[in-house]
Structure 1
Amino acid sequence: MGVIAWIVLGIIVGVIAEHFVSGRKSHGLIVTCLIGIAGALLGGWIATTVFHVHSLQGFFNLSTWITALAGSVVLLGAAQLVEGRRSLRR
């Protein structure tokens, strides 16, 4: 699957992941989409490089969506942790 497909998938999955991670305060739509894109790309890279999963071939494959969703949830969770630490400092 190409990088463009991972970007489109990341935008969709970023919005879905925001509902899973939703904390006290939601991110804006643009930030959520950017984190979703980065999470999808990171999830795809980890799946193919570290775990040697080569079944991430199709856009409509369930394992592709799960991988992108997992990467997006991890990055959104990390972003909320960073934001939480910033608010504690103030």
Structure 2
Amino acid sequence: MNFIVWLVVGGVIGWIASMIMRTDAQQGVILNVVVGIIGAALGGWLISPLVGVPSINENAFSIGALLVSLVGAIVLLAIVNLLRRGSVR
């Protein structure tokens, strides 16, 4: 059950990140969800220890954990845009 919640939260975070980066119209829903899930996981593993916030990966749903996951998704989305178009946008 926790895995399904993690997927849903990652998908929502990916959608929010795509809205912030203004790539929602160019990319499909699947890419947004994948970027959100991977970005949330990477944000949790890489950024959380640096700022001292527990991550969603550790079953800690908090505002700090969601923000760290959002930052991870935005960074990953910027990297995907850079590779696909040659610009971050």
* TM-score, normalization by structure 1: 0.75
1:4-25 CA distances to partner (integer Å, 9 max, x unpaired)?
5443321110000000111496
Two-structure CA RMSD over aligned residues (Å): 2.4
How far apart are residue 84 of structure 1 and its match? Answer: 1.1
% identical equivalent positions: 29
Aligned to 1:51: 50
Aligned to 2:63: 62
Amino acid at match of 1:42: L
Structure 2 residues not aligned, in runs of 5+: none
Aligned to 1:80: 81
Structure 1 residues not aligned, in runs of 5+: 86-90
* TM-score, normalization by structure 2: 0.76
2:17–2:73 Cα contact (<8 Å) kept: yes
1:33-56 CA distances to partner (integer Å, 9 max, x unpaired)?
0011000000000134x4272533
Q: Which has the higher contact order (CA 8 A, sep 6+)?
A: 1
Q: Which has the larger radius of gyration?
A: 1
> CA 1:34/1:62 → structure 2, altered by over 3 Å: closer, same or farther?
same
Q: How many residues align?
A: 82
